[in-house]
Amino acid sequence: FDRDGRPDYLLFNSTTHQTAIWYLSGTILVSGAFGPTLPNGWDLVAVGDFNADGKPDYVLYNAGTHQTAVWYLNNNVFVGGAFGPTLPVNWSVVGVADFNGDNKPDYLLFNSSTGQTAIWYLSGPTFVTGLFGPTLPANWNVVGAADFNGDNKPDYALFNAVTHQTGVWYLNNNVFVGGAFGPSLPANWSLIAP
């Protein structure tokens, strides 16, 4: 968030809807700042640069209306926003990545009832088109997207809540091209993001 080339933590308080950013140096907390507070009914589901200013923005989701929104940030300060596309029932945004190589973030969607994945290609917060991705086996969830094999294409990070097994599905845009198991997590732990 502070563009120092190091990852930072984004925190969300589900009771107060307050956001916060912890600035890190490796694993050391350097400082922190409160971000904007989300309205009731909205959850923070992902982060991506939607206005091409080089700064992360919030992706919000309202489970009651299925509406998405993007909040543009300057570090931890809200500077504007726009509504994104409304999702179909049973679908949720589980990640943001540039799946089609146009240098714009896209939504990674997951239907936990069917195991189906989809990618919605966006221009800023505006829906352009979408494609279905691979369907996951029973008990598996996709929890986000990142480039795990260094081919400059996002892959799926997977988690099986029954066995605690993690995995990666390698993709070329929306097409499955291979996979690998990752480490198993200890009991009572869940993978929530890559």
Whether residue 146 sits in one domain with residue 117: no
User: What whole-number distance in Å separates Cα of residue 114 and Cα of residue 110?
Assistant: 9
- Domain final residue, candidates 135, 161, 181: 135
Contacts of 105 (CB under 8 A, 6+ apart): 48, 49, 50, 96, 97, 98, 122
* Alpha-carbon separation of residue 9 from 92, 96, 98, 167 (angstroms): 22, 16, 21, 23
- Domain final residue, candidates 87, 119, 135: 135
Whether residue 141 sits in one domain with residue 79: no
Whether residue 18 sits in one domain with residue 68: yes
36 vs 25, residue with greater confidence? 36
Whether residue 83 sits in one domain with residue 62: yes
Confidence (pTM): 0.92
Model confidence at 60, pLDDT cuts 50, 70, 90, reads very high
Three-state SS for 140-190 is EEEEEEECCCCCCCCEEEEEECCCCEEEEEEEECCEEEEEEEEEECCCCCC
Residues spanned by the domain of 181: 137-193
- If one counts every other C-beta atom within 10 angstroms of the C-beta of residue 150, the result is 6
User: What whole-number distance in Å separates Cα of residue 158 and Cα of residue 169?
Assistant: 7
Whether residue 130 sits in one domain with residue 35: yes
Whether residue 39 sits in one domain with residue 124: yes
Whether residue 96 sits in one domain with residue 152: no
Model confidence at 14, pLDDT cuts 50, 70, 90, reads confident
Residue 91 has pLDDT above 90, yes or no: yes
What pLDDT is stored for residue 5 in this prediction? 81
What pLDDT is stored for residue 3 in this prediction? 83
Total number of domains constituting the chain: 2
Region 76-96: mean pLDDT is 97
Whether residue 113 sits in one domain with residue 45: yes
Model confidence at 77, pLDDT cuts 50, 70, 90, reads very high
Contacts of 26 (CB under 8 A, 6+ apart): 6
Model confidence at 98, pLDDT cuts 50, 70, 90, reads very high
Region 37-57: mean pLDDT is 95
Whether residue 158 sits in one domain with residue 108: no
Whether residue 184 sits in one domain with residue 143: yes
User: What whole-number distance in Å separates Cα of residue 191 and Cα of residue 163?
Assistant: 12
How much is the mean pLDDT over the chain?
95
Whether residue 152 sits in one domain with residue 119: no
DSSP state of 136: P
